[in-house]
Chains A and B, each alone.
Chain A
Amino acid sequence: MADKELDLKRMGNLPHWDVENLIGKMTLKSLLFSDDYRHIAIKGILTSLVMLALGGIMAILFRTELAVPDVQILGARVYMTLMTLHGMIMVFGFLIPLVVSVCYFLLPKVLGHERLIWAKAAQWSYWLLILAAVLLVIGRPDFTWTAYPPMSLRTGNPLLWMGYLAIFLVAVSEFLAGAVLLRNALEAKGGWSKAPLMAWATGTVGLLFMVSTIPLAFIGLGLLTDYLEITAYFDPSRGGSVKFFLYVFWSYGHPAVYLPFVPAIAVLYTLMPRFLGHPMWSYWSGVAAFILLMLGAIPIGPHHFQPLYTVSGWYERMVQILTLLVFIPSVLHVFNWVATLFMERIPTSARRAVPFKFMVASIGFIIYGGATAFINAQISIDSDFIHNTYWIPAHFHAMFFGFVGQMAIAGVYYLYPYITGRMYNQKLANSHFWLWQIGLFTKISGMFLAGYTYFPRWVYDYPPLPEWASTQFMITVGAYLIGLGFILFLYNFAVSASRGRQVEGDPWPVEDDAAAVATPAE
């Protein structure tokens, strides 16, 4: 069927790269400055993994602190610094760069350009982000990633200006990354209706990156000039407005959630047909969902802070309705994936492939964490137990780590033979997979329970209530399991590059042991 061929093509379902030991052939110079898309992507992937390790060590430290009430390992300031850096490093340093880097690797072949257009911008984006990370680690801000003024203007940290500057640099870096994604998507061959879903994803999210980082840049600069007492945008004691900050910040802050989310969905749409050997259930449903997600992202930002007056005020009501409606495009994606998995017999090769396992698990977590968005959106329930209790970290860890993080790791496992020429160790990868699933489920469930019992966010110690102590302990156990899984992953990643099975030809052939019994040919 011609239709099926077109579908296969526009979903990036063909083996694209020759398997080679790219990492082994790279010199320090090509790693740092080469504009070859694979080199940029590998650099991004490796850096993101370093960031994940950093953010993870911080998480392990403060999870240890929280495991038992009344026992102090870290002081309040150290705890808050670690917490702030954990948030910023994980989102700006791990999630967004990792999925974007995987997209950089996939785009040129999926779209058929054979090169990354505007690779120089991707290069600049990378180096600006590194500069921001260095500033963050030296400046050690302790104002949480949301930097709410006037608190963020007077935490007493003498190097606070570095934090604001880092926010500005992150904005510029993400703007450039968005420009690259959008530019490449616009060049998709054969017109819109034949563009792979990845082009739709990177196009819409690229645009979103470019629009939404403008307010973030303003936030970074505004905080800096406010801090230097040149301006007074956000400090009410000098005539500024906190509400102004909230509206501006969250018009970046909500899209910021989609900046890693949509590229992760794009990776999923590319890998799923690749492993199953048939196109997605619906192409246009995916396209519609991408467009709706992009349109919904900015207007619903205010759901991150509480309505100032009442739900019957038309603006707050509109935000609530739009937030509830944005649920629909996400559900369209999930529906599409589950329907695709249902279509034909799942080949044994897919069941065996670790990236495929991570992909299916990440769909599980998007369901687990995503469904709660439906009640988070309602102002009345939000004013009951959701706003700034642990319910919120539970929701976004399920989405960010359970879905985006795991999908990005699926991408890394998928690219592994293409960048090292060898296959990962199956046993270690399986252990990593199960440690993460059990750890994540324990951690996220513990967070949901803690939130339901009103455990507040951002505390380094808490009264020894039994329901709080038990849930905190549960979360810490989950975090340790995840840490253990990550160590296995790093070991596997490093060792298999020289000792793994050498791959010849297509590393991901679609094979089915029971092909004879399988569905009749179409």
Chain B
Amino acid sequence: MRTADLEARLAEWSRPGGPFDPAVLTAHDETESFPAEACAALDTWGLPEYYVPVRRGGRQDRLDEFLALLRRIAARDLTVAVAHGKTFLGGVCAWVAGEDGPADLLARHVLAGEPVAWGLTEPDGGSDLLAGSLTATRHGSGWHLSGRKWPVNNATRGNLLCVLARTEPEGGPRGFTVFLIDKRATATGTVRPLPKMPTHGIRGADISGVEFHEARVPAHALVGTVGGGLELVLKSLQLTRIVCVSLSLGAGDHALGLLRRFLSERRLYGRDLADLPHVRGTAGRAAAHQFLAEAVAHTAARAAHQVPEELSVVSAVAKAFVPTLVQGQLRLIGDLLGARGFLTGVEGYGGFAKLERDHQVVPLFDGSTWVNRAGLAGVLPLLRPGRRATASVSASPVHWLREEHRPAPLDARRLRLLAPRDSVLGALPTLVAELAEQERTSSTAAETASLSRALLAAYERLGADLKNVRPTGGAPSTATMRLAERYEWCFAGAAALALHRARPRLHDGPWGQDGLWLRGCLALALEGLGSRPTGATQVYDRLGTLVTTAPDVPVSVLDDMVPDEPVHDGSVEVPAA
């Protein structure tokens, strides 16, 4: 119910003069000032509790719930979601490291409302973590830090900062270590802020940096083990990459809301805009984008609990796929909005240009689309269909995507850098076979079955193409990157099928009847795989009709999913590594 409660509060706060009043947030964007009122409102509501695991006294026990919360905020203002949500990123290393670090200390800080930044990037370093030059050297019982982290979200405003530092002069995968810095506990002049970077979007966020000059930090600042930093960060990224995609879902919600308003108001050539088939088709396509993005994001969030050993693949797919998909969705919506998506002062529509600019940062966060896709490309030969034994029944997404399923506690010890299998795509043949059994029940069931068979065939073709691919070092070839992209589309289609199978509720209702939303997802996935599925036009048309004729039905297949209250029984925790 907390998601619903947050949504109700956000609606309140969005009224004129409130902390989420679009006029206030637009002004922050214009003047590049921090949306402090909105962040304070979220503090009061208790969002920081969701940054802290239950066993450390917080309310974080389900990633799917956290995604839903952050999505609601992003749907109002993506800058605020980024500005506040960074504490999730800042904390995650400490939770993953478990008892090997200052987790309890950090939990107290976060619960007290203290934001935490995560400093990975360095000037000119980009996504190459091994190039990091900020150095920590032993000094007495503690450490001396020297160097720069930039650009970092909240680097200047926050007191707490989790950084990756080089602890072996020659670097290397065992040459880096994570530290949690409390700037207040460092000597004057040893830690200096670096200027805010003027950005294209999220202009109000504190994207700045920090510079250390022989800054002394105590021994208990160490997070995890000395030399364990890279591994810790790579595992933490598996979680944060999944969280990031909720920002895309929120952006999609926001844009779809504007689109619906536009379609209800606009008349052209003497008709309602929605009377034009291509307008309906585009609106329906935009809705299908949202459903597919939801399927992947939600599957990834549940996978973190259920199949954490596969998360290196799942998180890379989610992060490479969802922001790109939503970018495409925003493009479709922007094309329909035309001038209204471009002019920033037109009553009610000024938000579109801002959300689109804001969203363009999401593909860059925590490893860009290409970084994630390249990571996936590197391990593709291991993931080809049939190479591994399929997972057990309990590992099947159909099992753990059930509405009532209570996700297992997050267990960071099960995270691995190399996934042994992919249970989501592994479930595809069974899912397709099950749909085939239904195909005689109706013409739409036959259509759904046929689309799913086409997806399976595309996956098998991918498997055949993967036979000739060897693992290689360095940047993957273009051909391998394209295979990785195809893998993402197959995964997305399989996630939609699994979600549909796991939730009877999704077989009914405006989107669900006749499996309409699923056919939208499958059609989109097949197009992504380069084919032109028959019936796609009709599916998008029907989805588009619903977008315009049922304006009160949220464009979501997860909307009813309001997770229950977290249970403070200690059974749900992030165990020590």
Do A and B associate with each other?
Answer: no
Residue numbers of A with Cβ under 8 A of B are none
Taking Cβ atoms with an 8 Å cutoff, the residues of B that contact A are none
